[in-house]
Amino acid sequence: MDDAIMQRVQVWKNGNYDDAAKQEIARLEKENPNELADAFYRNLEFGTGGLRGIMGIGTNRINKYTVGMATQGFANYLNATYPGGVIRIAIAHDSRNNSRQFAEITANVMAANGIKVFLFEALRPTPELSFTIRQLGCQGGVVCTASHNPKEYNGYKAYWNDGGQLVPPHDKNVIKEVEKIASVDEVKWSGGEANITLIGQEADAAYIDMVKELSVYPEVITRQHDLKIVYTPIHGTGIMLVPQVLQRFGFTNVHIVEEQAKPDGNFPTVIYPNPEESEAMSIGLKKAKALDADILLGTDPDADRVGIAIKDKQGNWVLMNGNQTAVLAFNYIIEARKAKGIAQKNDFVCKTIVTTDMIDRIAADNNVKCYNVLTGFKWIAELIKEKEASENYTVGGEESYGLMIGSRLRDKDAVSAVALLCEMAAYEKDKGRSLFEKLIDLYVQYGYYKEHLISITKKGMNGQKEIAEMMDGYRHNPPMTINGSPVVQLLDYELKKGKNLQTGEEWDIKLPASNVLQFILSDGSKISARPSGTEPKIKFYFSVNTTIKSAAEFDGTQVHGELDKKIQGIISDMGLK
């Protein structure tokens, strides 16, 4: 171990840390010095979204000390931003191991800094926190969660007064304040307990009322109330609200996946508690098949992501990807609002730049504005704030299984998404068809869009450098053709410039700078390259499309094979295998 690591270890051994932490250090010194080095080789970074990391002792781990120091920095920023007034903050947590402890530490530190705290009495979905911040007029919020990460992880997401996660300038300013906290001795750990109010059922009732108002076709649910629904919370917080919301919508035939119903931070039935993973949905799928259900839905531990499975025309179960789910949801909201006569001329929808462009086509065909923002729901929240005086937000989403319906909260919400997806299934069943058939109809109308994602990790000390060089090459020496199709546009979100590579025309991209590159090909394909800011990892998103004339054409194998071949051709030509 180098001197810097040893110095950090000594601070913990000699400082105001509990005996359990000191004993664990002694054990690791003896049994696993490599793990000790990893636990102390750096300070866990408080990024623009907060903290996320493996739980354990050390400066590079999530523990009560790193959580307390982060909270002190956030509290200092809140007090500096709102001097002299009453500052209110809402705090929630998910089902992960230690989440309750971390939430209570966060509450105690905020309260000791004179901030009025509304702490949920038990675990709750992340979207309810976002809603409650707005409902109670809070200046900020915190949820202790690591979303869909494996069981070893936990985290800390910070929110601002609009119910959205931190965006500029607050994100960078909070980071600066957190980085100023050099010692646990600077943390006010206790002394403000009178400032803490426990909340629960009243907040739930307000949130459920809000979700119920999102229903567009309650009369259809009345007719199709016995739609056979299978739902799994994957050991997470969804169990607290999803069954209640489905009941409130009027659904009477809901089946919970019992093996995954109990909140459990060990996630005993899955490797990754993520509805994007087919393995996490497999137990639910088994139950759905056994019951011959109409729809299967699953939510991640903090209930902000939703995965669904529906039956194809042959009765085979198909797990929808995030783009397909978003296409169905966006189209339903747009079509239903129009059919019900509640659409407004200033309605808009919003998606991220790596989410399927099929949504742009649907919106354009319906004369609804579609905005594209950077990846992350905080940017959708920021756009709503920017437009709310003049335009009406209806739905937003991203390819990574996130939807946000209505503007009463400002983060992705799997609870309301489950309810609306079930309403959509009921609406189609009422017409004697399925959601799958609706999706095929949309492909016939707007084109068959197929997306694919690969993630490349460059291991070792030079990993980040290799990825930086890869991006530099694409940026300054872009390919003129990819897989035989000319590159028409290069969109550089870091330089905030778009360029037509054939005409030389340039234009400004009016979004915050982000290290993302997109290549638009003449055949309509789109490739996005997006490095991680914290790991030696780079994601490539591929979107290809073609026209199909009928549902029968989709049922054949040729069109699928052609698009798969096109994606593989792009991957091969770019040397990404």
Per-position DSSP letters for 237-305, written without gaps between them: GGGGTHHHHHHHHT---EEE-GGGTS--TT-TT-SS--TTSHHHHHHHHHHHHHHT-SEEEEE-TTS--
Q: In the Cβ-directed half-sphere of 406, how many Cα atoms lie within 13 Å?
A: 21
Verify whether residue 147 is a known catalytic residue. Answer: yes
Angle at 54 between CA 100 and CA 155, to 5 degrees: 45
Strand 517-521 and strand 526-531: the pairing is antiparallel
Q: Report which DSSP code applies to 166.
A: P
| 369, 336 Cβ separation under 8 angstroms | no
Tokens 């659904």 locate to 251
Spot the catalytic one: 147, 407, 416, 543. 147
Peptide bond into 273 cis (omega under 30): no
Of the chain, the end-to-end C-alpha distance in Å amounts to 36
Spatial separation of the C-alpha atoms in residues 167 and 174, rounded to whole Å: 10
What is d(CA 68, CA 521) in angstroms, rounded to the nearest whole number? Answer: 49
How buried is 574 (Cβ within 10 angstroms: 0-12 exposed, 13-18 middle, 19+ buried)? Answer: middle
Which amino acid makes up residue 103? A
What single letter denotes the amino acid at residue 461? M
Task: Answer whether 392's CB lies under 8 Å from 348's CB.
Answer: yes
CB neighbourhood size of 437 (10 A): 17
What does the alpha-carbon distance between residue 349 and residue 360 come to, in Å, rounded to a whole number? 9
Residue type, 468: A
Task: Report yes or no: 331 and 362 within 8 Å, Cβ to Cβ.
Answer: yes
Q: Which residues are catalytic?
A: 147
